[in-house]
Amino acid sequence: MTQRDYYEILGVPRGASPDDLKAAFRRLARQYHPDVSQELDSEERFKEINEAYAVLSDADRRAAYDRFGHAGVRGPSGTPDFTVDFSDFADIFGDLFGFGSFGRSSARSRNAPRRGGDLQYRLDLSFEEAVFGIEKEIEISRDEHCNRCNGSGAELGSKPVRCGTCNGAGEVRQVRQTILGSMVQVSTCPQCGGRGETIGSPCSSCQGRGLQRATRRKVISIPGGVDTGTQIRLAGEGQPGMNGGPNGNLYVAIQVKAHKYFRRRENDILLDLNVNIAQAALGADVEVPTVDGEEKLRIPAGTQPGKVLYLRGKGVPKLRGSGRGDQVVVVNVEIPARLSAEQRQLFEQLAESLGSEVRPQERGFLDWLREALGG
């Protein structure tokens, strides 16, 4: 059965940010949760939404899906290979049923260690840099814990105090009378935002955020063989974690610039080579450009337009494995557009020796030349 595109399921474009993905997931999960939706296929839709988000919210699995489609995220059994992080369901279940995910209080959930967000960085490389690899210095902007308050958000000499609205619980409860009886609605404390404490004297450096924006330079090593779409993960170089959680990752997305002569096909390098009609007919040794410099290539006698020749081992290093691809040389035989009197006479002699009838006043040079070449 044909599987739907994960981006289509969530209703987001392929370039959607992690926040866009999460917002779409939360909206659709609330809409199609089997306990609240009236639609007959809500359970299947809910599973479909969960599968799409589980893949696209993970940077590694998303990169594999973007490159290889569903085949890139299937496990050995042929089913999608992923584990589900249920932390994103906490607010959804809280909105639907008035309690934290699987009975956890919202205060505990919000104060639990949380992993920092991932960052993306685009790095442009020349064709040769992508082939051979290089070390590059990049500059990234990210949040870091404030040095003055050590991330607490409170001014020196002060500290956060228990929230007077929720008494440190991080949540407030309201009892409502319904036709089913009394129901308790639990919501995040509006005063402290679920932290259970407030800051009376905010840090003068970070204005109470506990975080400051910083720009850092970092030298990264790019392996040979990368291509446009390759992502390099730098673990722990993303946004800082909260409540003791780990930092997120930095993903460096490679973009390779077009080359004047070369094109790439997987691990092979393609080159179009022009030779004149004499070289094609008689054969010749010619110098051709490669990423390693000039190399001698033998053009066999009688070479036809479009003939493919190979320079073995002159392609791109294999990113996973050893060895290199080949340089694939496609020969193009150039037909002269203008001839000197001497050249024309020689071609006429050639045409005559080949048995071609030459009638300059009725037919053009290209006509009889095509006949001479068998075209």
CATH of the domain at 20: 1.10.287.110
Q: How many independent structural domains does the chain possess? A: 3
What is the model's pLDDT at position 190? 82
For residue range 221-249, list pLDDT tens digits in order: 999 999 998 999 999 898 888 777 888 99
Does residue 155 fall inside a structural domain?
Answer: no
In this structure, the answer to whether residues 287 and 358 fall within a common structural domain is no
Does residue 137 fall inside a structural domain?
Answer: no
Does residue 281 fall inside a structural domain?
Answer: yes
In this structure, the answer to whether residues 368 and 298 fall within a common structural domain is no
Does residue 269 fall inside a structural domain?
Answer: yes
Return phi, psi of residue 89, to 5°.
-85, -10
In this structure, the answer to whether residues 294 and 312 fall within a common structural domain is yes
Does residue 210 fall inside a structural domain?
Answer: no
Instruction: Give 375's pLDDT tier (boundaries 50, 70, 90).
Output: low
Residue type, 166: C
CATH of the domain at 299: 2.60.260.20
Does residue 139 fall inside a structural domain?
Answer: no
The answer for 118, left when phi > 0, alpha when psi is -120 to 50, beta otherwise, is beta
Instruction: Record the tokens describing residue 7, joined without a space.
Output: 């981006």
CB 153, CB 208: distance < 8 Å: yes
Last residue of a domain, one of 64, 84, 104: 84
In this structure, the answer to whether residues 270 and 314 fall within a common structural domain is yes
Residue type, 308: V
Closest C-alpha among 168, 174, 173 to residue 192 = 168
In this structure, the answer to whether residues 13 and 57 fall within a common structural domain is yes
How big is the chain, counted in residues?
375
In this structure, the answer to whether residues 275 and 293 fall within a common structural domain is yes
In this structure, the answer to whether residues 3 and 63 fall within a common structural domain is yes
In this structure, the answer to whether residues 74 and 4 fall within a common structural domain is yes
Sign of CA dihedral 103, 109, 110, 111: positive
| CA dist list (Å): 192 to 75, 112, 137, 140, 152 | 43, 16, 41, 31, 14
In this structure, the answer to whether residues 303 and 375 fall within a common structural domain is no
Residues 6 or more apart whose CB falls under 8 angstroms from that of 47 comprise none
Range with lowest mean pLDDT among 61-65, 103-107, 169-173, 255-259: 103-107
Residues 6 or more apart whose CB falls under 8 angstroms from that of 19 comprise none
Instruction: Record the tokens describing residue 371, joined without a space.
Output: 């006949």
For residue range 143-182, list pLDDT tens digits in order: 888 888 888 888 887 888 888 888 888 888 877 765 445 6
Instruction: Record the tokens describing residue 347, joined without a space.
Output: 């071609």
Mean pLDDT of 123-131: 94
Burial group, residue 218, by CB count within 10 angstroms (0-12, 13-18, 19+): middle
Instruction: Starting at the earlier edge strand, list the strands of the sheet with 263-265.
Output: 263-265, 268-276, 327-334, 308-311
Last residue of a domain, one of 69, 84, 99: 84
The 10 Å Cβ neighbour count of residue 29 is 20
Please tell me the distance from the alpha carbon of residue 304 to that of residue 313, in angstroms, as a whole number.
24
Does residue 184 fall inside a structural domain?
Answer: no
Cite the beta strand spans of the chain per DSSP E.
119-125, 134-145, 161-162, 171-178, 181-188, 197-198, 211-222, 231-234, 250-256, 263-265, 268-276, 284-290, 293-299, 308-311, 327-334
In this structure, the answer to whether residues 325 and 351 fall within a common structural domain is no
What is the model's pLDDT at position 335? 83
The 10 Å Cβ neighbour count of residue 309 is 17
In this structure, the answer to whether residues 294 and 365 fall within a common structural domain is no
For residue range 275-300, list pLDDT tens digits in order: 988 888 888 999 999 999 999 999 99
CB 311, CB 295: distance < 8 Å: yes
State the residue range of the domain holding 304: 259-334
In this structure, the answer to whether residues 347 and 330 fall within a common structural domain is no
Please tell me the distance from the alpha carbon of residue 179 to that of residue 183, in angstroms, as a whole number.
10
Does residue 193 fall inside a structural domain?
Answer: no
Compute the half-sphere exposure of residue 233: CA atoms within 13 Å on the CB side of its CA: 12
Q: What is the DSSP letter of 202?
A: B
Last residue of a domain, one of 44, 64, 84: 84
What's the start-to-end Cα distance of the chain, in Å?
48
For residue range 32-80, list pLDDT tens digits in order: 876 666 777 778 888 888 888 888 988 888 888 888 787 777 655 555 5
